[in-house]
Structure 1
């Protein structure tokens, strides 16, 4: 953005208010004079654009240090408190919710124990109701909400904002989710896969790391790929769907996707719950499994480590193919991190080529417990604070005035 504006030809259209905002948000400029130099706009044009951004609350202005030989220059900065975005990371059995400022920082957070099998309408209604309550708890005005970021498990058509027939989400296929939230909040809604939004958050938390593999182990298993600094969604949005990769030498267990011996049916949180119940343990959720591991239950520890080994078998192929610098592990089962990752490392470092694992780091996600909602917030912020979106907001304000 900055380079494009600085290299602007004299015949190019003048920089818009949205483009000026992008420069301020990036920290590329901090004064009106710097804006003029970067864009070629006149002082009058700069003032007009800055005044509109100030009135919209997207930019703040304070007196800065003295300019050499002159009076103190007013400094401009991105105003993180100029509104909020809402984040909802829907899981199979639990949904994380948050109100965030315009940097993606969480202002208020909660979770709902609601099963996705209830269907999209009741889930979205419960999500909207609780988000309204969180806004009040954060002391934020509904009128200041600028957008909603939403994630759901499995393959997502991010353009249409719907699931593409995921077995763990019966009744969700092709149901467009933004309209269900528009009934409660008249703001833009962006929808993506749950692990993709975790990857967006982890990418922001790992500056300088351009090749990242994000693993989520919860009720199900999924992954996301950041390669060359870009989140890879694939031709139909199903990049990273490792949960339904079949493993060798399995017991022939049928998976809900129609295949047998998928990694998800053998090593996910749901699989561990099933196997522990068979062994007489009173477990109902992934959190119960984690509690057993933390209490030192030998059988639970053994099962979790074996699950890690099986997951590592699949990840080894991904490491050979993608050569990530870092694998981050998140999801509800990360609470049993030590046996889980011990198993993952054992298989990955045994099966992947040495050149791919020589400097590979396997570590817990940097935002464990918040990566989903933080990623949802960043997802929608990238849309609603883009230069084009800001210009549309300001144009709409002009029409109202």
Structure 2
């Protein structure tokens, strides 16, 4: 699994004369400047001042100089890059029935991971305790026990209040509503803990790795459930309370009003979610999630193929509305149901181009996800990296003379 290059980070804010080492690191990780002379030209700082601020980053082992020199106005200059080995990130991607736990470096390269049958139905205390035990096993497997831990990133299949780090409102995570996940984990891990909706993390990973040059992206996850994530102006958009992108539980007219898992009727998920398709196909074969549907499609089951194609057209209706509202540069289709070739994608494309105005679709790209695995883990790792290396957080740690990351 290839990690995320340093150049694929968010665009930096304008330089200010009083900005510290954290802003210098941001220029390096975003690829805006990767040599001492380049940093001096971009910031207007003298080479000696640039050197002083870089010294703080070198002392914290956050940056390294490369062996290959780069030409800069006729003067050779060593390139400077983020040291991915400076810290480890614990990344956790919790699903409805399985949980992936990984340890990554600061470039989001997976050092070791494990997929465990840890289901959200086990409840928060039991699942989080088992995740903690699994993390220790994965750290040992990665031989990363002596590495400082930068933080923990968590992805959850539920609406998440990002600031509070809690599940809020109805979700498939029964018993998790308002549970203090961060507080529970802090009993063991005294490190920054970032918690977000799983689709936001998929969106973050997809945008950084494949579409970092696009400012507006809509990601659709079509799996057992249905959700979406948005990048607006180059940054993940979560909304006022973290509920942005809950497309699966928006009512859609014209297709009947089947009962949804959330208690409402006529939700998009109740029409095209993997569990809904499995429900409609149950007269042919048992199955209750997206994996069962996909297995049948791959075996050439005509009933399952027809159901998935219909689902693509229904999903396209909602995506068309979102296209008109958001005017994205690119729409990415991911999730288990999207792994069966063009059966789902064809219907989405057909309806979006039919229903949306030409101005919104003139340069629009609709593409399948570029990930085959680890997208949620990558997003969780990037979420942590963005936080701990942000100038506001990093400068405080460096000014206090402390190491930015903690030993486990």
* Pairwise TM-score range, normalised by the shorter structure: 0.7 to 0.9
- Is 1:86 the counterpart of 2:90? The answer is yes
- Is the alpha carbon distance of 1:311 and 1:287 closer, same or farther for their aligned partners in structure 2, counting shifts above 3 Å? same
- d(CA) in 1 for partners of 2:82 and 2:89? 15
Q: Is the 8 A contact 1:253 1:260 kept in 2?
A: yes
- Is the alpha carbon distance of 1:218 and 1:70 closer, same or farther for their aligned partners in structure 2, counting shifts above 3 Å? closer
Q: Is the 8 A contact 1:165 1:172 kept in 2?
A: no
> Secondary structure in 2 aligned to 1:328?
strand
In structure 1, the partner of 2:112 is 108
> Secondary structure in 2 aligned to 1:362?
strand
- Between stretches 391-400 and 331-340, larger displacement belongs to 391-400
2:212 equivalent among 207, 216, 224: 207
In structure 2, the partner of 1:24 is 28
- Is 1:165 the counterpart of 2:169? The answer is yes
Q: Is the 8 A contact 2:84 2:107 kept in 1?
A: yes
- Is 1:330 the counterpart of 2:334? The answer is yes
In structure 1, the partner of 2:160 is 156
- Between stretches 26-35 and 186-195, larger displacement belongs to 26-35
Where does the alignment leave 5 or more consecutive residues of structure 2 unmatched? 1-10
- d(CA) in 2 for partners of 1:390 and 1:41? 22
> Secondary structure in 2 aligned to 1:131?
helix
In structure 2, the partner of 1:306 is 310
In structure 2, the partner of 1:237 is 242
- Is the alpha carbon distance of 1:294 and 1:124 closer, same or farther for their aligned partners in structure 2, counting shifts above 3 Å? same
- Is the alpha carbon distance of 1:356 and 1:74 closer, same or farther for their aligned partners in structure 2, counting shifts above 3 Å? closer
Counterpart mapping for 1:1-400 below 5 A: 4-5=14-15, 8=17, 13=18, 15-32=19-36, 35=39, 38=43, 40=45, 43=48, 46-62=50-66, 65=69, 75-141=79-145, 143-204=147-208, 205-277=210-282, 279-398=283-402
Q: Alpha carbon RMSD of aligned pairs, Å?
A: 2.8
- Is the alpha carbon distance of 1:222 and 1:30 closer, same or farther for their aligned partners in structure 2, counting shifts above 3 Å? closer
- Between stretches 128-137 and 149-158, larger displacement belongs to 128-137
How big is each residue's C-alpha offset from its partner over 1:267-325, in whole Å with a ceiling of 9 and x where there is no partner?
A: 10111222222x23133542222111011011111111122222112111111222222
Where does the alignment leave 5 or more consecutive residues of structure 1 unmatched? none
- d(CA) in 1 for partners of 2:59 and 2:131? 31
Q: Is the 8 A contact 2:222 2:334 kept in 1?
A: yes
* Structure number, greater radius of gyration: 1
Structure that is richer in helix per residue: 1
Q: Is the 8 A contact 1:135 1:142 kept in 2?
A: no
TM-score by length of 1: 0.88
- Is the alpha carbon distance of 1:340 and 1:51 closer, same or farther for their aligned partners in structure 2, counting shifts above 3 Å? same
- d(CA) in 1 for partners of 2:242 and 2:284? 40
- d(CA) in 2 for partners of 1:115 and 1:67? 54
> Secondary structure in 1 aligned to 2:286?
coil
> Secondary structure in 2 aligned to 1:259?
coil
Q: Is the 8 A contact 2:90 2:151 kept in 1?
A: yes
- d(CA) in 1 for partners of 2:160 and 2:70? 52
- d(CA) in 2 for partners of 1:98 and 1:233? 24
